[in-house]
Every structure is written in structure tokens, then in C-alpha cells.
Amino acid sequence: MTTPSSIADRELVLTRIIDVPADKLFKCWTTPERMHEWFCPKPWTVSHAEMDIRAGGSSLVVMKGPNGEEVPNPGVYLEVVPNKRLVFTDAFTSAWVPSEKPFMVAIVEFEDLGDGTTRYTATARHWTIEDRQAHEQMGFHEGWGVVADQLAEVARTF
């Protein structure tokens, strides 16, 4: 009998203290027309974003690469707590249509620290250890770190 892996074996976490209030960071995450400014590490960008920001609502973020390649990322919101938490997954392409190959559940948390700063935590939970390892090798920490910096810059403009 094999022992199931723990959640920690299948997740990657990025935590930052950002000198922007939580509501502004949340607004960035929920304003599709501003996603192109921060969501992908440059030279990648977002060419299209649609969001129905509610539990069960669909999202579609299309990332565009420097050579014109496009990577669609359909998903569904599982939990939405304004200014505090977003949980979404690529396990569904729309409300409750399973995707071909689920990769992760993302949990984005905004903890207001009371002084205009926010503890920003982005967690990617994967179905398998192999998926987590692949995401890490793709550059999760560096890429999501760059995105957090870009997010902070855009959030300051709200």
C-alpha cells in the first residue's frame, strides 16, 4: 500500500509583503482590461481576458508570447472573498465542464496588515508531485515573483 502524498508535496507558494492595500491588489486580479499590464512575466503579455468573478464563474486568460504564440488558460472560480481571497482552477473549462488535463488550483490571498501593506500569498496546488515539479522547473518562483512585482506596480495606479 502506498502512502498518499501530502498537500505540501504538491504545492508551490510565493509570499510577499507588498506596500499596497489589499483592495487594490484584489482589484487588479478582478479587472480583466488591466491583466495585460501585470499577469505574465515580460515579454509575455495577456492578449485577452474574460472573468465572471463569482464561485462557479468562468474565466479565460490568453497569454501571448514574444513570437506570437498564444496559450489559452480557461478556468473556473471556486471561491471569491472580496479583498481577501480568490481560488480558481483549470480543472474545469467552464462551470462544471471538466478540462482535458487539470494542472492546479490557485489560491491567492490578500491579508491586510493594517498599515497600507498586504501579505500577498499565491499558492499553486497540483494534482500530482510530477505536476508540481514540472511547474517548479517552468520557473514558478521566478515567474510568479516577477508577476507579483508587476502586480504591485499596477495596483499603485488604482
pLDDT 10s per residue in the chain (158 long)?
Answer: 445 568 899 999 999 999 999 999 999 999 999 999 999 999 999 999 999 999 999 999 999 999 999 999 999 999 999 999 999 999 999 888 999 999 999 999 999 999 999 999 999 999 999 999 999 999 999 999 999 999 999 999 99
Could you name the CATH architecture of 7-155? 2-Layer Sandwich (3.30)
Question: Letter for the amino acid at 44?
Answer: W
In the three-class reduction of DSSP (H, G, I as helix; E, B as strand; rest coil), residue 128 is classed as coil
Q: Are strands 11-18 and 45-51 parallel, antiparallel or unpaired?
A: unpaired
Q: pTM value?
A: 0.94
Residue 95: per-residue pLDDT: 82
Contact 33, 47 (CB under 8 A): no
